Amino acid sequence: MPSLDDLKKRITSVKSTQKITKAMKMVAAAKLRKAQENAEKGRPYSEKMNNIILNLSRSITDKDNAPKLLSGTGNEKIYLCVVLTADRGLCGGFNTNIVKKAKSFFETIKSEGKSFKIITVGSKGYDQLKRIYGDQIIEKISFKDSKKINYPDAEIVGKKIIELFEKNEFDVCTIFYNQFKNVITQIPQEQQIIPLKSSETKENSEIDNYEFEPDEDEILSNLLPKNISTQIFKAMLENSASEQGSRMTAMDNATRNAGELVDKLTINYNRSRQAAITKELIEIISGAESL
């Protein structure tokens, strides 16, 4: 049985941890509001860009000469998987859920006899994937030093993907991230960005009629690379909100658990202290009676 001194030190230690988790919860709550606003503002832009590209692709008469970023290479043998996670932990199952979604996708590809390459954006994703899929990881990118999510960071990833595609390093590119729903719920997503899936765009977007100038091919050559960076930026914004929501929930649970543990330890401390006092009283009384 632990001594009174050990119990007292344990209570002090748990209370200190509780203060830290409570502070982290408050910081996450403060950051969540801004991150959620940014994620919600980014959704209409990315969806509208997909809608415009869909309309442009329908206007192309010569499908054989369509941009490769839109039509693909014609093969589906090599997949590039971009796994977007956080650079920091203590956020519940946020990183693990994205990695689980990616691993399930990897196993499906392997079962079909196809190969894949991985780019990790965020150190936590790399840490979880390197043991099993270290040979498939071709690039690890981290924005740990960035104070906030910005479009130039997404462009770095987008340009890397386009560079690999132009070198015929892969046929299909899919990104993995968490879509923010609310503080408690974040939904792991897989989104194919090369070639662009017209069926998904059709379901999520309204079809509008546009008149284009200059030609559709020229517009697409400018829009498609930008769309890749835009979709990655949207995924990063969704991840940012999901991370803060998950961290807020995790730290709230940790704070409550610490409080319950302090209560239990306090009860044990009081019982042990009472037992020690009772024992001393019995010894004094026994000694007095023996005289």
Q: What is the pLDDT of residue 263?
A: 95
Strands 186-194 and 172-180: antiparallel
Amino acid at position 225, single letter: P
Asked if 69 and 44 count as a contact pair (C-beta separation under 8 A), the reply is no
* Domains recognised in the chain with CATH numbers: 4-21+251-290 (1.10.287.80), 42-250 (3.40.1380.10)
Which pLDDT value is given to residue 287? 78
DSSP 119-183: EEESHHHHHHHHHHHTTTEEEEE--TT-SS--HHHHHHHHHHHHHHHHTT--SEEEEEEEEE-SS
| pLDDT recorded at residue 203 | 46
pLDDT at 205: 46
Amino acid 121 reads V
Residue 8's contacts (CB-CB under 8 Å, 6 or more residues apart) are: 269
- pLDDT confidence of residue 148: 82
Of 149, 151, 173, nearest to 161 by C-alpha is: 173
3-state secondary structure at position 176: strand
Which residues are part of the catalytic machinery?
91
The stretches in the chain having pLDDT less than 50 are 199-205
